Amino acid sequence: MAIFMNEPSRTFGEYLLIPGYSSANCIPANVSLKTPLVKFKKGEEAEIFLNIPMTSAIMQSVSDDKMAVALAREGGLSFIYGSQSIESQAEMVARVKSYRAGFVNSDSNISPESTLNDILVLKEKTGHSTVAVTDDGSATGKLVGIVTSRDYRVSRMSPDTKVKEFMTPFEDLIYGDETTTLKEANDIIWENKLNCLPIIDKNQKLMSFVFRKDYNSHKNNELELIDSSKRYMVGAGINTRDYAQRIPALIEAGADVLCIDSSEGYSEWQKRVLEFVREKYGDKVKIGAGNVVDGEGFRFLAECGADFVKVGIGGGAICITREQKGIGRGQATAIIEVAKARDEYYKETGVYVPICSDGGIVHDYHITLALAMGADFLMLGRYFARFDESPTKKVNINGNFMKEYWGEGSARARNWQRYDLGGAEKLSFEEGVDSFVPYAGSLKDNVSLSLSKVRSTMCNCGCLTIPELQKNAKITLVSSTSIVEGGAHDVLLKDNRQIL
Ligand code: MZP
């Protein structure tokens, strides 16, 4: 007879936290959100930590190199999506690793033969008042001058005037080279009262700019996630088909950690990938596995050598796996069960294998709940898809700005490897949808707001660290009537906002 679990599986919206005693020391500024990303032995430290418990989903519509830089800057980590060619994924990883914070690729460029009118058109298009003049008009051509609004007067000059006649020529420019550090660049900018400093290579080709206006934003990132060479850290998704070729390319490109991306991870296919990594690289290469939703699946992957285990089936905002196949589990129950298995495994073996709650975060407080229920960190898709930094188009729908967000199991992503069970190399049916999510602005603003709520709630619970929250949180189930009580109710709202 089949095994029946008589308790229903539940999700975050069905729980609340009950406050604990908060001492005067329990203030948001004292909260640390540092959390282990990979397994470690009792008495030792994890080799990789996150400074905030957030990773971005292994999805085409979420995690490219731009997202990875923005999230690492805030202390989290992106897993660059694997549903692309090995070459283009490795290039994205390499771009993150070679990214120099504060050094911006020039996106307003012109040739010396262009005219004042071309400058005005370009300024209108990009909104930038500094234009690099390069021999071929490209972002990486030989730098021959710079044009800023101080170089021309529209009322006194003919629109046909050639750029070379009014630009500030290279001979008069102050510039940096490949060896210039960000601190040196900023010092040069301040000492010479410049607005920007062009950086060139030994052949006078333009590499990047450092801008005065960015100075403060680079001073503000004390949580940024960097490796021992001060490069941003980045992860990458892999699959159980082409891993023997993909993994070496990603490691060569500089990926700090890998994760097997699969809708269902309790399988021999994942075991084979983990064995491949351990045989070829020992413990040097870090790799997570998943997804699972119970203790049995966790133990299997932990015993196969996974560095972390990802939890969640069917809870993603764009996921229709539960409807299509009837498999999955409420995300809260899945996390609670897997966290129990992780703790038992730790007691037995002395090895702590972190778990990641993947998918289903709708409100900021769900992040705190997931951590309190035992997650060490989270993976989010919809959340990050809403930001400027996600790779998708921003569109206006009925007067509201939206960003596109599609599932890896949708026909659009065509990521059959994620759903692969060793059969035909195709997606037999869709397990995800193509959708829009409301545009929300910059990653930095949103992440700092969400985490300020997490820190505040942790203080209400009397906890200053994630392990303290996991140990001491008091969590209660809520009835559907008390959920109604939790929102604004029995009042007539003065503005037109809808309470959703
Ligand atoms: P969410 O944060 O948008 O709710 O969920 C993101 C997670 O959904 C991803 O990390 C991944 O595990 C899962 N996902 C991605 N694509 C699909 C799909 O097409 C999916 N079904 O379920």
Q: Which of 224, 289, 231, 268 is nearest to 79 (CA)?
A: 289
Output the pLDDT for position 228: 87
Q: Which of 115, 125, 196, 217 is nearest to 157 (CA)?
A: 115
Backbone φ/ψ region at 230: left (φ over 0), alpha (ψ -120 to 50), beta = left
Output the pLDDT for position 500: 45
CA-CA distance, 34 to 37, in Å (whole number)?
A: 10
Catalytic pick among 319, 356, 461, 463? 319
Known catalytic membership, residue 418: yes
CA neighbours closer than 13 Å in the CB half-sphere of residue 136: 8
Exposed (0-12), middle (13-18) or buried (19+): which is 476, by Cβ within 10 Å? exposed
Q: Which of 12, 55, 29 is nearest to 331 (CA)?
A: 12
Q: Which of 260, 318, 335, 366 to mutate to test the pocket of ligand 1 (most atoms within 8 A of CB)?
A: 318
Contact residues of ligand 1, CB 6 A cut-off = 57, 59, 316-319, 321, 358-361, 379-383, 407-410, 431-432
Output the pLDDT for position 428: 85
Q: What angle do CA 381, 297, 248 make, to 5 degrees?
A: 65
Output the pLDDT for position 427: 84
195 near 130, Cβ under 8 Å? Answer: yes
Q: Say which amino acid occupies 414.
A: R
CA-CA distance, 188 to 197, in Å (whole number)?
A: 8
CA-CA distance, 396 to 336, in Å (whole number)?
A: 40
413 near 83, Cβ under 8 Å? Answer: yes
Q: Which two tokens stand for residue 330?
A: 């409420």
184 near 164, Cβ under 8 Å? Answer: no
Q: Ligand 1 centre from 89 Cα, in Å?
A: 19
Parallel, antiparallel, or unpaired for β 176-177 and 40-41? unpaired
User: Mean pLDDT in each 10-residue stretch from start to end of the chain (500 residues)?
Assistant: 94 97 97 98 98 98 97 97 98 93 86 95 89 95 94 93 96 93 90 93 94 71 88 96 97 98 96 98 98 98 98 97 95 98 98 98 98 98 98 95 96 89 83 96 97 98 98 96 88 69
Known catalytic membership, residue 196: no
